[in-house]
Structure 1
Amino acid sequence: MIIGPYINGAAVLVGALSGAALAQRMPDRLRVAMPLTFGVASMAMGVILINRAAHMPVMVLAGILGALIGELIFLERGIGKVGSFARALVEKVVPAKAGGLSQDEFLEKFVAILVLFCASGTGIFGSMNEGMTGDASILIAKSFLDLFTAAIFATTLGYAVATIAVPQLLIQLSLAFGAVLILPLTSPQMIADFSAVGGLLMLATGFRICGIKIFPVANMLPALLLAMPISAFWSHVF
């Protein structure tokens, strides 16, 4: 029985609702400091995953080609429109407070945490691992981190953060149920290269959350789809 994705989705939902409800009581120093901590943590996890790469050229090539595809199809713009729709939908029920984030500021942060929640290496691997072994421990551990992350970001982004629980749940369920078909076709090298590409995205996401450099993280998502095929080709040829 698959339970990890449901627990992780519930953690994001509860965290976001709690953070948005308690936003007025949250000290400003926490709103500023905690996202920076999450950004650094994302960069640290990204570096660890990148170091596990079996073939470094595979990670570089997948990252470049994935970003190229994402730019050509305007993927981040499309995700931004989804974020705008989610914000407008939520604000019909819960009006935004005066003096909140501008639309550009909101989309910049929303896209970053959308990638952090939905495309993290931990979530993807944890979902596939549970699908194959029935072990939900990785996703349960991730749920504790997501609970507090969603709460902190919801203090500035509002109840719209709660909508991220829906795509996250759908992605994790798809990976968990599809893992039975996917993982038998993979090798340890392919999984390592896949994790390294996920680490590259997490590193870029950390820079974005900290406001150091606004990488187009969403446009880099196709790299995850290319990682395993390129890794298999590289191993066969070289």
Structure 2
Amino acid sequence: MPIGVIVNSLAVFFGGLIGAVLGDKIPERTRTALPLTAGVASMAMGVNLILKMNTMPAVVLSLILGSALGELIKFEKGIEWCVGRIRGPIERIFSNKGTVDNQKEFMEKFVGIVILFSASGTGIFGALKEGMTGDYSVLLAKSFLDFFVAAIFATALGYIVLTICVPQFAVLICLFFSASIILPMTTPSMISDFTACGGMIMLATGFRISGIKAFAIANMLPALILVMPISYLWTTFVK
């Protein structure tokens, strides 16, 4: 029973719902400040994960190759297209459309939190750990953070934030059921490098959410697929 996966997705759903309902009642200054705080928190978590790195060349190479692959397949553009398709119907259903009208700013924030919720190193590792051992403590801890972050961003972006629970659940449940296949083939070194790679993406996500630099973070995601094989090859044949 994927308890952690379910709880994490419900946390995003209800956090987004509560934030959207309260959006008009929260002062503009607070709506502006809280996403900046969430961005800093993402950067701090990213730095913490990066410190777990075992093989720096393998992680850096994975990030470069993964980003190149993401740019070639235009992964972020695909996500933005999907968001554009669902934004209209969601705004027609609910009267609260959020306070961000600029399309570019909206996409920068929304895609950023999609990655933060669905593809963070903590979420991926937590789903794998629960699937392998039944321990959902990592995802439970992540759920508390996700609840408040979803609420924070829903005050500005509206009800569309609660739809993030769908891709998040899809990603985490796939990892949960594939854990028994993936984890036995890994080593502590591979897990450390995978975690560090996720940390780099979370750091870039924090910069994007805070409005400092709009990294194409969705295009970096293929690095998470490449990093463990490259880490293994590097430690086996190079290091």
**Is contact 2:99–2:157 with CA below 8 Å preserved after alignment?**
no
Q: Report the equivalent of 1:90.
A: 90
Distance across 2 between alignment mates of 1:157 and 1:170: 22
- Single out whichever of 21-30 and 53-62 deviates more from structure 2: 21-30
Distance across 2 between alignment mates of 1:120 and 1:222: 13
**Is contact 2:52–2:196 with CA below 8 Å preserved after alignment?**
yes
Q: Given the alignment of the two structures, is residue 3 of structure 1 paired with residue 3 of structure 2, yes or no?
A: yes
* Change in CA separation of 1:113 and 1:98 when aligned onto 2, cut-off 3 Å: closer
Q: Report the equivalent of 2:15.
A: 15
Query: How far did residue 83 of structure 1 move?
Result: 1.2
Identity fraction in percent: 56
* Change in CA separation of 1:188 and 1:99 when aligned onto 2, cut-off 3 Å: closer
Distance across 2 between alignment mates of 1:235 and 1:27: 52
Distance across 1 between alignment mates of 2:106 and 2:210: 14
* Change in CA separation of 1:87 and 1:57 when aligned onto 2, cut-off 3 Å: same
Distance across 2 between alignment mates of 1:107 and 1:97: 14
Q: Report the equivalent of 2:199.
A: 199
* Change in CA separation of 1:12 and 1:99 when aligned onto 2, cut-off 3 Å: closer
Which sections of structure 2, spanning at least 5 residues, go unmatched? none
Query: How far did residue 2 of structure 1 move?
Result: 1.6
RMSD: 1.2
Query: How far did residue 100 of structure 1 move?
Result: 4.0
Query: How far did residue 29 of structure 1 move?
Result: 2.3
Distance across 1 between alignment mates of 2:95 and 2:227: 42
**Is contact 2:23–2:98 with CA below 8 Å preserved after alignment?**
no
Deviation sequence 1:147-198 (CA, Å, 0-9, x none): 0100110011111111100010111111111000100000000000000100
Q: Report the equivalent of 1:209.
A: 209
Q: Given the alignment of the two structures, is residue 232 of structure 1 paired with residue 232 of structure 2, yes or no?
A: yes
Letter in 2 for 1:163: T
Residues 103-114 of structure 1 aligned to structure 2 (within 5 Å): 103-114=103-114
Which sections of structure 1, spanning at least 5 residues, go unmatched? none
Residues 1-238 of structure 1 aligned to structure 2 (within 5 Å): 1-95=1-95, 97=97, 100-238=100-238
Query: How far did residue 212 of structure 1 move?
Result: 0.8
Distance across 1 between alignment mates of 2:127 and 2:25: 35
Tell me the TM-score normalized by structure 1. 0.97
Deviation sequence 1:181-237 (CA, Å, 0-9, x none): 100000000000000100010000000011111101011010001011101111111
* Change in CA separation of 1:172 and 1:137 when aligned onto 2, cut-off 3 Å: same
Distance across 2 between alignment mates of 1:203 and 1:15: 23
**Is contact 1:86–1:163 with CA below 8 Å preserved after alignment?**
no
* Change in CA separation of 1:96 and 1:53 when aligned onto 2, cut-off 3 Å: same
**Is contact 1:123–1:139 with CA below 8 Å preserved after alignment?**
yes
Distance across 1 between alignment mates of 2:226 and 2:133: 25
Deviation sequence 1:112-131 (CA, Å, 0-9, x none): 00000001111011100101
Letter in 2 for 1:69: L
Letter in 2 for 1:132: M
Distance across 2 between alignment mates of 1:207 and 1:218: 14
